[in-house]
Amino acid sequence: MTAQLELDNISFEYAERAVVNNLSLTLADDEILCLLGASGCGKTTTLKAIAGLIRPHRGVIRLGKEVLCSDQHCVPPQHRNMGMMFQDYALFPHLTVAQNIAFGLKGMSKANKQQRVAEMLALVHLDECGGRYPHQLSGGQQQRVAIARALAYKPSLLLLDEPFSNIDHQVRFQLIADIRRIIKDQRVSAIFVTHSKEEAFAFADTLAVMHNGQIAQQGTAKQLFQHPNSKVVAEFLGTGVYIDATIVDADHVQTPFGIVRSLQPLPSSGKGQVYVRPHDMQLIGDEHGEVTLLSQRFVGTEYVYRVSVFAQEVEIPAKAEQEFLPSQKLSLTITPHSVNFFAD
Ligand SMILES: Nc1ncnc2c1ncn2[C@@H]1O[C@H](COP(=O)(O)OP(=O)(O)OP(=O)(O)O)[C@@H](O)[C@H]1O
């Protein structure tokens, strides 16, 4: 069983510019958590603080009962028992795959080392590749060697910084599934950094959306998608449009497109906006409609219409048999969904 990680109000500044700002985060045993956020929001800096590569200027980091970092002391990276994997995999080019995996195995007999390397090669399905050099492997195979090396010495925690960004899109999601299985089989906790919500949904158990050096919200993908606590989180998890709305009762809001039923309870009253995602909207022809068709694409099974709704642009899928004309006026029907309501 691996230990729980806790970041308690950590802050870090580069040249007095706050990059991580009173950030708190918890990671449960065997959990894969994704730090997700736009470029420059402080994800890598947070990962470096966990790894011990930088020291936070304030705050405490704990791994299980051990304090890794506080005002008083800071455990150096080599004593944190964490495995790391970065975007370029950082394999040693002059070492074979087996030697790369064995690299971090200190204080073991030769026979035990060989056994552990063989176990790791089998785990990542590269049994036949131990004698090859990194340049003789595909990008995906190199990535699996990197994960084998990071896991070989049984770390308490695995830190992965954009590990899939160099992988071809066509094989990326198969690899994500493979590596998730390997990490789960080994019962290791992991923190994974990405700016891709698709990767986060596929790889992580929980997501922590970062914004301006803080965690905006932490939870499962479904919790964050259905109950975003802010517009930042709602927008980060998917496109949509804001439509003025007034709460009618706990299950309904009034919008310019009619009354919309919410599948989750709403606040008791209020005026504000609902954030409606494309799959909850349907287009209908309506010469008095408030929606203007801007362009359309046929993508095989359906059309994707780019429309303007109250000066916001959004792409809405529609069945192939439902065809609209360029510049046609349209209206929307909004299907019952877990309405995201933001009060004024
Ligand atoms: N060594 C450094 N010196 C000064 N500023 C830095 C340094 N490293 C990072 N920064 C700045 O700190 C901020 C956060 O950087 P960080 O790498 O943590 O972001 P990120 O969320 O991981 O971004 P990305 O997704 O682009 O990798 C950025 O504005 C970046 O320019």
- Residue 36's nearest CA partner among 156, 150, 155, 161 is 161
pLDDT tens digits, residue range 178-193?
889 888 988 899 999 9
Q: Whose CA is nearest to atom 25 of ligand 1?
A: 39
Within the chain, what is the greatest distance between any pair of CA atoms?
80
What is the ipTM for the molecules in this complex? 0.95
Looking at residue 262, the DSSP 8-state letter turns out to be: B
Q: Is the CB of 14 under 6 A from ligand 1?
A: yes
Predicted pLDDT at 1:
45
Q: Whose CA is nearest to atom 30 of ligand 1?
A: 40
What contacts 344, CB < 8 A, 6 or more positions away? 270, 271, 272, 273
Buried b (16+ CB within 10 A) or exposed e, 46-73: bbbbbbbebebeebbbbbeeebbbeeee
pTM: 0.85
Q: Whose CA is nearest to atom 5 of ligand 1?
A: 14
pLDDT tens digits, residue range 14-44?
988 999 999 999 999 999 999 999 889 999 9
Q: Is the CB of 40 under 6 A from ligand 1?
A: yes
Question: Domains, the chain, ranges and CATH?
Answer: 3-233 (3.40.50.300), 239-343 (2.40.50.140)
Task: Note the Cα 118 to chain centre separation in Å.
Answer: 32
pLDDT tens digits, residue range 195-243?
888 999 999 999 999 999 999 999 999 999 989 999 999 999 989 999 9
- Residue 283's nearest CA partner among 323, 229, 235, 238 is 323
Q: Is the CB of 48 under 6 A from ligand 1?
A: no
- Extended beta strands in the chain, E state: 5-14, 17-27, 32-36, 58-63, 66-69, 82-85, 157-161, 189-194, 206-211, 214-219, 241-249, 252-255, 258-261, 271-276, 281-285, 291-298, 302-309, 312-319, 329-334, 340-343
What are the tokens at 165?
Answer: 């960004």
Using the mean position of ligand 1's atoms as its centre, give its distance from the Cα of residue 232 in Å.
19
Mutate to test the pocket of ligand 1, among 19, 39, 194, 212 (most ligand atoms within 8 A of CB): 19
pLDDT tens digits, residue range 62-99?
999 899 999 989 999 988 989 888 766 678 899 999 99
Q: Is the CB of 39 under 6 A from ligand 1?
A: yes
Atom of ligand 1 nearest to the CA of 42: 18
Decide if pLDDT at 134 tops 80. yes
Q: Is the CB of 44 under 6 A from ligand 1?
A: yes
Decide if pLDDT at 274 tops 80. yes
